[in-house]
Amino acid sequence: MENHSRDKGKATQTDNEDKDDLQSVLTLQRHLLMEAKTLDSDLDFAFQLQMQEAFSASLSVHHPSSSLDVTLSPPSDRGFDYVTLMLQDIERFEMERKDREESEEEMRRFRNDLNRSIYDQNFARYIMNVPEQEWNNYGDNYERPYDGNVVESQNEGFRVYVKGLVSEERIREMKVTVGGVGVAICDFWNNLVLELRKKLDGAEFITGEMAGVEAVIHGLNAALSLDLKRVTLFVDDFLVYQFITGRQQPGQSKLGTKVNEVSLLQKRFTYFQPSFAARNDMSFVFKLARDAIVSQITWPVETSNGKGLKETCMICFEDTDATQMFTVDGCFHRYCFSCMKQHVEVKLLNAMVASCPHEGCNTEVTIDSCGKFLDPKLVEIMSNRKKEASIAVSEKVYCAFPRCSALMSKSEVLQYTRTVMLVAEQSGARKCVKCHRFFCIYCKVPWHFDMTCIDYKRLNPHPAREDAMLNTLATKKRWRECIKCKHVIELGGGCYHITCRCGFEFCYTCGAEWRNKKPTCSCPIWDEPNIIHNRQRRQ
């Protein structure tokens, strides 16, 4: 431990001395160049004075009466200014050196925080394994502060998630191909340690597989910069997974060179295991790669609210404020609110599920995410429709309070009621998940706390006003109610054998059940006018 600390201190001291020497050399070089530039300027000025005096003397000899005051202008072309160029190179070098030092300092801070976190977690596990009796006797004396010198991360396993993307985008009137890389490093407990996003240069010459391999290279280099030695790499591109595992060879090409670079990086780890992950498990790193792409297709502009960013919508090709662009969850393609509003509304009006408008992308656009551009009432209606379609007919139940009427499944409302009433299943009482009021699942009325369903019906023989109006209308229109799910059905034509959407079969005339595709009543199966009317309508 002491030798490690001493070596680390010597290395830090040597690095600081090298930085001071480099800074001294750069300062001296800049000073000498500035002196040379000043001297060059003075010599040039002296030369111009001499030329002006000589020209004036020549005029006075040949034209004694002339009193012309001649001023020579500086030469228009004095050649290439190497001194200025060298000064610019020094400034650029110093800027790059400063950026590199800041990056290295940031990585050192990351490593220190990572080591501290791992140290604390290991110490916590150690404490958890201390016998109870020993902890009661000596627990107050357990103390092991982190000294900052132990590199614990070399013995821990980390997860490296990578994703590379190449996409054709539009910047104003021009189509461009841009690429991005997303990397996320997590510890063994899947806590985020580091995330980064970078653009891919020359994306127009990069395939999707090459972008994936580039992402692997960036991810492994980031892990090495943190001094990680044991990593599991996660990719969601099967071909990239085949390349890095050596199961498929890319051949002699630029891609092959990149795969060989991955192989060299693998050897720098004491443990390296590639893993093929599902797309859903990579959504956060997919977003990082997509953000890297978006950063390349936006540009700053002056707006009425100050400075902002503009982005071109791939549907209408209009330059839109970046804050008015909608990102599709899952694929992260972006379109303006106006285009997405039209796209989603058309799909909904045709009873279709809205998917991402990007060509070849089948990612579903969730209704709940469309609140930024759709009317809130429409969002609520469509959310309810989707929920209604997802619940089996026999499982559906609605809140008995007309002002609520929230849709729930029987299992959902029972589970919710059990949190406040242990005998919910036996009593028939249910608590609405929306308005939180109790109702009876059998009578479909507000909960009758002090009486049974039979007693309630005896004391309340007349249905509610809304139910009475529905019953009157049903009688007038000759609608029939399914005795199993209570769904009201209207016969438009055809025979009297009805199959409800819940699967229950019955006679439309009297409501008697059909069993094994046969009636249990003596009612006629059809009336000829209904059959003829139905046939004519089909024709």
Catalytic amino acids?
495
CA angle at 464 for the pair 459 and 465, rounded to the nearest 5°: 140
Q: Are strands 230-235 and 157-171 parallel, antiparallel or unpaired?
A: parallel
DSSP 3-state of 373: coil
Edge-to-edge order in the sheet of strand 306-312 = 298-303, 306-312, 319-321
**What residues contact 280, with CB distance under 8 A and at least 6 apart?**
none
The answer to whether 218 touches 196, Cβ cutoff 8 Å, is yes
Task: Give the amino acid at 469.
Answer: M
Structure token digits, residue 288: 């990082």
Task: Give the amino acid at 103.
Answer: S
Q: What is the DSSP string of 275-303?
A: EE--GGGGHHHHHHHHHHHHTTSEEEEEE
The answer to whether 506 touches 489, Cβ cutoff 8 Å, is no
Round to whole Å and give the CA distance between 351 and 510: 34
**Residue 514's closest CA among 483, 493, 488?**
483
What is the torsion angle, in degrees rounded to the nearest 10, for the CA atoms of residue 12, residue 16, residue 17 and residue 20? 170
Distances in whole angstroms, Cα of residue 442 to Cα of each of 166, 261, 461: 57, 69, 15
**Residue 121's closest CA among 184, 195, 190?**
190
Query: Torsion-angle region of residue 203: left (phi > 0), alpha (psi -120 to 50) or beta?
Result: alpha
